[in-house]
Amino acid sequence: MSTPLLHSTDLFTARTAGYWNYRIPGLTVTPGGVVLAHTEARQGQGGDGDPIDILLRRSADGGRSWERARCVVDHTDYPGGPINNFVCIPDRDTRQVHALFCTDYARAFHLTSEEDGLTWSAPVGITQAFEAFRREYDWHVLAVGPGHGIQLDCGRLLAPVWLSTGAGTEFGSGKRGHRPNRAGVVFSDDHGRTWQRGDLIRDTFPNTNETEAVQLADGRVLRNMRPLDDGADHPDAEHRRVVSLSADGAHNWSTPYRDPALLEPVCFASLCRHSRQPEDAENIVLFANPDNLEKTMTTWARDRKNLTVKASFDECRTWSVSRVLEPGPSGYSDLAVLSDKTILCFYECGMIDHMADSAALTLARFDLEWVEQGAPAV
């Protein structure tokens, strides 16, 4: 019997290289097989509104070794507010990597790499795609992702987004708030030349934001969302992830529903396909988040700890196996799968001063056998 693979290494460590901390990990495997791991490198006190650069590291050997960090987006090029939510989408048709990000929670940009993340084009504004939401939802805040976007079978590039009408809070030049909010999507059918808005997901549950998407074997797109449940605001909240589906990934999202198997401590979660075969064959989808509802670290959310990887063998209807990757403090994560089916998880690990002050961003490499040797989901 082979030994399951599990190996981890810290890619970014807090209080180093002139940054207070590193947050919001993102992970992508390029069409050329290069792994890109990116982060918000935060100055100040590491808050959402502090000066933020986007740093990126590349690995050409499946995450075993890593090149030095490069600055992809420099905050000094965008005075007046923070840079947030860098999201990559690999394009198998053009062999490019697309990236979206936002500045001051008010403007959005698109850039591309022709060299597996080694160099990048100058960013081009795409805020007009978000302006098209205003006739339905007069937002004060826009945000992409975080995590990663996906390309559908038809070639469509898809980036989950969220919008908020909130104002008067502490970050950004416009004092922009996170809620109330709605989840939506922007997409491109011409390989990033133009971007359009899709439909907003119904606000059946309040404040569903920070979503990731996966295309199911039958072609539909499933969105897995973070609802901002907390005991003070929603005493009857079920603290479970929220799900919605669309036939084309952009329009006519189904009425959202709770996934009873996926606990929600109020944190971003990752979703990624491991295998894709005909609809009647076994297909595997992976999910990762802090699987916890204990509340000892803060008043506004459950503790971000016990980062757990789950596997579904029936297109996200159930999650039959579950394995704890990081039992201690652990927050945002992003999943990716290599061509040899090795799984990568890039996540916020440890805690220094408070729950959103991660000690490091850690890259874990493991295989499906390691996940399957975990406990059956309950």
More confident residue, 201 or 2: 201
Domain ranges of the chain: 11-271
Q: Average pLDDT in the 149-153 region?
A: 98
Give pLDDT tens digits for 345-365. 999 999 999 999 999 999 999
Tens-place pLDDT, residues 269-306: 999 999 877 665 678 999 999 999 999 987 778 999 99
Range 126-138 average pLDDT: 96
Q: What is the mean pLDDT of the chain?
A: 92
- 232 pLDDT above the threshold of 60: no
pLDDT digit string (tens) for 163-196? Answer: 999 865 544 444 567 778 999 999 999 999 999 9
The dihedral through the CA atoms of 259, 262, 266, 272 has a sign that is: negative
11-271 under CATH 2.120.10.10, yes or no: yes
- What is the model's pTM? 0.94
Q: Are 292 and 265 in contact (CB under 8 A)?
A: yes
